Amino acid sequence: MEGAGQGALEGLRVADFSRVLAGPYATMLLADLGADVVKVERPGIGDDTRAWHPPADHDGTSTYFLGVNRNKRSIILDLTTDAGRAQARALVAESDVLVENFRPGTMERLGLGHRELRALHPGLVYCSISGFGSGAGAAIPGYDLLVQAVGGLMSVTGDAAGEPVKAGVALVDVITGLHASLGILAALRHRDATGKGQHVEVNLLSSLLSAMVNQASAYVVAGVVPGRMGNAHPSIAPYETFAAADRPIAIAVGNDRQFAALADLVGEPDLALDDRFRTNADRVAHRTELRNILTERLGTAGADHWSALLLAAGVPAGPVNTLDEAFAFAQKLGLPGIVDIPAASPDGAEERLCRQVVSPIGLSSTPARYRLPPPGLGQHTAEILHRLPGDASAPNEEVT
């Protein structure tokens, strides 16, 4: 199988109590690099995203769930029961990392909070993911759309004359998952040096504010509150999309040399000598005039035509692709975008291929591996409970 061999995180066990996106994305990244991730799910329901469809694959499994849960084993634990919580503690006792994204305070009420488990397992790295932290914002639900709204991202996304718009993917969840995985690896590095685990905390709002980078810095440093500019850039021009003859094209001019090449290729070489457009600051100040000129010239040919010419001259440019075109473009560049993981059908009668997006992390000696397809609900419960110490296979009993 592609990526065979030892993973960089081989021997690391992660008890994954998270669901939906930020936590599962973080644990999938760890799993791709070799960690043994045990996904803890609720009886009968499992991860919420199992029911988020359409779309679904040929077996009726949500493609949302499939997108962030490969290389994991699934175990059903009823955390409302004494037996289920005992099984959870037994699992954590044999794990290096715990990841959870319940509302703050939930794990403590279940007897699975950071302090209690660290007392039993001093080397445990315990990662909590929340929407708005564990303080005054603890009760606010952590939904990506909500965070995009209150965190300022929607205020800079969309056309100036239109309504605020969310990003086309749950971007804040993804960014938070990346921060969580980085925090976990840093805590593991510290544990390697000291033997001590620690509590890693990340939240969606803080992650978004950090990811707003130049826009956030404009406010923090200069007091500038940015607004919506469509596809234009607040500090660079021309750096946006234009209408070519057939479809939009993105042009990202970052310096004067690139602008001179662009001007020459569109048949307006004097633009680079025009006082309105000599420097980037000039072009930003006169962006509307420049846009009108470029739009007229670019409308004379298709986006692919202009892209080929501009890229050959060192000017960053490309058509606005649909997702299928984006995967095809990656393939054309020799960048693998899709991997097929062998998977048995639900009844085990035949072997199928589960299509997945390739990990973006390239490691020369310990590359990402694709060992397991996303698991069925509770698929590995018996296997995992059998290996836990004590009577871990005892039935769950409801707390009365």
The position carrying tokens 């692709």 is 321
C-alpha closest to that of 258 among 235, 281, 233, 238: 238
Distance (Å, rounded) from C-alpha 44 to C-alpha 182?
32
Q: Does 78 qualify as catalytic in the annotation?
A: no
- CA dist 286 to 243, 278, 289, 400, Å? 19, 11, 6, 71
Residue 69: DSSP 8-state: -
Instruction: Quote the CA–CA distance of 137 and 176 in Å, as a whole number.
Output: 17
Count Cα atoms within 13 angstroms, Cβ side, for 377. 17
Dihedral pair phi/psi, residue 203, rounded to 5°: -135, 155
Is residue 130 within 8 Å of residue 100, measured between CB atoms? no
* E runs forming strands in 26-162: 36-41, 72-76, 97-100, 125-130
**What burial class does residue 302 get, using C-beta atoms within 10 Å of its C-beta: 0-12 exposed, 13-18 middle, 19+ buried?**
middle
What are the CA-CA distances from residue 126 to residues 66, 95, 110, 198, 199 (Å)? 25, 10, 15, 6, 5
Among residues 129, 134, 126, 182, the alpha carbon closest in space to that of 23 is found at 129
DSSP string, 16-52: E---SSHHHHHHHHHHHTT-EEEEEE-TTT-SGGGG-
Contact by Cβ (8 Å): 338, 268: no
Q: Which of 32, 36, 47, 173 is catalytic?
A: 173
Which tokens go with 12? 């690391």
Question: Catalytic positions, please?
Answer: 173
